[in-house]
Amino acid sequence: MKKKYLACFIMAILLSFSTVITGCNKKQVDENNLVVYNFGGDDITYAEYYIYAKTIEEDYCKVYGNGVWELELNTDDGNSSVKDITIKDIVSDINRVKVLNAHSAELNISLTDSEISEIEEIADKFYKGLTEEDIKESGISNQLVKAVIKENLVANKVYEHVLEDYDFEISDEEARMISFYDMVFECYKVEKDGSIKEYSEEEKQKQLDKANEALTSLAEDEDTTYEKLVDKYNLQYASSYTMSKSQITEEYGESVASKILELADGEVSVVVETQYGYHIFKMLKSNDEELTKENKANIVRSKQKEYFSGMFDTWVKDYDPSFDFDKQINRKLAEKIWQS
């Protein structure tokens, strides 16, 4: 399940939220101002928590149905239910917004008059779309809606400001994506028990002879194709791949990677030996511009995430060094939104 990296930017969500607030499950809440948890001296009430939780509930229920919350997923921390994962995500989102807002003044982050007006309009539209039952269930007030939208907008501006101070420039060469074909005359086999058995020296020599024979066929016979050779020699590991330079190096090692990278489009390599066997490489596209552009964007996002995470971890510790999710979250109240 994909976890949001930046805090939920609720402004856009609230535009449509008022039409789906009834959701797939409801339970009446009488104590609207009960505290779900405290973070940095601030009480996070059920009403505030509800705004974040309800948007997620709507998305999940539409796709997976009401029973999604008890579904077990395998995570880095072991098996967890969707409900448990979602609660942690919501708390993480709220905490992120609070921490980023705490740094808005020192970074001179403020809202423009037009942004403030937009917040007012969106909050009013959202609140007017609620029924009396919705308000009684959630404890949401118009003032709280405005505050949540404002905090999320400020948090988003702080995040963008932080990233502006860091140079995430990535060269085309670093991001370059290369497409090539790898025909492998393997020198090992996988046993039924999953173990790997290396070929004998005699078997390896036969594979090398086949590889050289195939290379000669490619050079001398225009009708010879990779597909025909794969069928002829019953090759198990022959396919095309698209990788970056670093990925090719990681997969094949620096020596073999250099042989692949020096090929021009359409050019075929000599027989190359690796730990897997004997390979014949063909360069399909030495620079896939579209994929290179996409890879560059992915690298930038990864570097941004890494840079921001390091700074944010320090900010969180300064904001509330003693926060403990397992000890401080009112689980009964946090789960109330998903109880029938």
* Domains of the chain, start order: 10-168+297-338 (1.10.4030), 177-286 (3.10.50.40)
**Residue 53: per-residue pLDDT:** 85
Q: Which residues of the chain have pLDDT under 50?
A: 1-9, 11-32
Are the beta carbons of 311 and 162 closer than 8 angstroms? Answer: yes
Q: What is the per-residue burial (b if ≥16 Cβ within 10 Å, else e) of 264-298?
A: eeeeebebbeeeebbbbbbbbebebeebbeebbee
**Residue 340: per-residue pLDDT:** 52
* Rounded distance between C-alpha atoms, residue 194 and residue 188, angstroms: 12
Are the beta carbons of 272 and 282 closer than 8 angstroms? Answer: no
**Residue 33: per-residue pLDDT:** 59
Tell me phi and psi for residue 288, to 5 degrees.
Answer: -85, 100
As given in the structure block, the two tokens for residue 315 are 């900010």
DSSP SS3 for 80? strand
**Residue 11: per-residue pLDDT:** 44
DSSP alpha helix (H) spans, the chain = 10-17, 46-64, 82-102, 113-128, 132-138, 142-164, 172-175, 201-220, 226-232, 245-252, 254-261, 289-319, 325-328, 331-334
Tell me phi and psi for residue 171, to 5 degrees.
Answer: -75, 155
**Residue 26: per-residue pLDDT:** 41
Give per-residue pLDDT as tens, 110-129. 999 999 999 999 888 878 87
**Residue 7: per-residue pLDDT:** 38
Residues 6+ apart with CB under 8 A from 74: none
Q: How far is CA 3 from CA 90, 247, 318, in A?
A: 10, 25, 24
∠ CA 296-89-338, rounded to 5°? 140
